Amino acid sequence: MLENLMAVVIFAVVTSFSPGPNNALAMSIGANFGAVRSWRLAVGTQIGFAVMVVVSGLGLAQLLLLAPMAEQVMQAVAGGFVLYLGYRIATSKPAALKSRSEVGRPLGIFGAASFQLVNPKAWAICLGALGTFADFGGPGQNIAVILTVFVVTTASSIFTWASGGAAISRLLSTPTRQRRFNYAMAVLMVLSALLALW
């Protein structure tokens, strides 16, 4: 059991810290609003991922195997939403050009939780973890262990990427640099989602 737990921890660290839609979003929030303001993304990500793990652990994965068309619909919705978020990041006005009323807020808890439900990398991680590391004594124990490990690693990853974004923001002192950064984050988000989908 200890070996299986260590395997889950390693899987969680690698998948949580590797580039993906959540981490690109975290870096963008860190660069545009500061690392501290990424807490809503972290909380929302935890809630959304928890829903995914519980629903999948209780049988969604088996339903998807029985209805391949449902998986294709989920992939299309996920791809569309990630493209939409990428577009929003790429076309966001640089902070230096925004008026006080335009500054806005980073993605909220509900938005971040909802994003998980269409995040292809999150689904791949969720189903991969449940399918590979389901050896902790039953569905309830599997769900509890996987959620516990991912709560820690995902929150750490989001704050690490957001801190990286905040550090980079010092280099984004001009609107042109900020636009280029936003384009790069949008492309990273879309590419990572496409790689997870196909």
Check: CB of residue 162 under 8 Å from CB of residue 27. Answer: yes
Tokens of 46: 């935890």
Q: What is the mean pLDDT of residues 33-55?
A: 91
Model confidence at 91, pLDDT cuts 50, 70, 90, reads: confident
CA distance 23 to 98: 24
CA distance 193 to 61: 20
CA distance 81 to 106: 17
pLDDT for res 153:
95
DSSP per-residue codes, 92-104: PPPGGG--GGG--
pLDDT for res 94:
65
pTM of the model: 0.75
Query: Higher pLDDT residue, 35 or 106?
Result: 35
On average, the pLDDT of the chain sits at 82
| Tens-place pLDDT, residues 135-188 | 777 778 888 889 999 999 999 999 999 999 999 888 887 888 888 888 887 888
